[in-house]
Amino acid sequence: MPRDLKLFVVDTGPLITLAAAQSLDYLLYVNVDVVIPDAVLHEATYDAARLGAQDIIEWVKAHRGQIEIAATRTYAIFDAARATIPHLREPDLGERAAVEVIEEPDRLRGDERGLLLCEETAVLRRVVVRDRARIIALSTLDFLRILEAERRIQSADDVFQLAAQAGRWPSRAEKLAAYDNATRAAIQGLVKR
């Protein structure tokens, strides 16, 4: 699915915000390859009881042709360590994996360009962007406002409002028990190796 623009989702914020607003499909309203580092997907979904987790897994499965789950050494090492420390948690796991993916030398080839979608600016501070002319960082709201300006969606602010409202009530997933092992298997199955 090679295109000349890639959308890197480099932290969990955009996924959870859009999932909470039932708006994940907006990421597919642009003709780009969507790239999600494996550890970012893990952080967003490791506990099925968390807001948006079930929706994100189902969305990724439904759109495998347009979404690449990028394998990282960061997540591979973390996953291996969990064999002996089952409840291991690393708060900056997704951030480190995102940095690894963005800095891969072959990630942007030829004339390819990248949009980094994130809520967490710390990710970008850690990245040594080799060619700033080819990479632009956008917040979720930036992305939605561009869709609104292009009349692809009605209102960016409405999406944020929906996300905020979703946080006020338990998501339907919160009625479920955590399915850490199932989610782990799902991520392994989704990673493109």
Partner 1 sequence: MDAATIFALEAYSRGAMSALELRRRLGGATYGDVLRLLSEAALPLPRAPIAGREEQLERAREWMFPRNAA
Interface positions with partner 1 (CB under 8 A): 5, 11-13, 16-17, 20, 30, 32, 43-44, 47, 50-53, 89, 91-92, 95, 113, 115, 119-122, 136, 138-139, 141-142, 145-146, 149-150, 160, 163-168
How many CA atoms lie within 13 Å of 47's alpha carbon, on the beta-carbon side? Answer: 8
The rounded distance, in Å, linking the Cα atoms of 136 and 153 is 21
Minimum distance, C-beta of residue 18 to partner 1, in the bound complex (Å):
11
Minimum distance, C-beta of residue 193 to partner 1, in the bound complex (Å):
27
- Specify the residue, 164 or 192, whose C-beta has the smaller distance to partner 1: 164
Rg (C-alpha) for the chain, rounded Å, is 16
Supply the angle between the helices 12-20 and 140-149 in degrees, to the nearest 10: 60
The rounded distance, in Å, linking the Cα atoms of 147 and 153 is 6
- Specify the residue, 32 or 69, whose C-beta has the smaller distance to partner 1: 32
Minimum distance, C-beta of residue 136 to partner 1, in the bound complex (Å):
5
Sign of CA dihedral 85, 90, 96, 101: positive
- Specify the residue, 175 or 193, whose C-beta has the smaller distance to partner 1: 175
Per the structure block, which two tokens stand in for 125? 């501070």
Minimum distance, C-beta of residue 176 to partner 1, in the bound complex (Å):
14
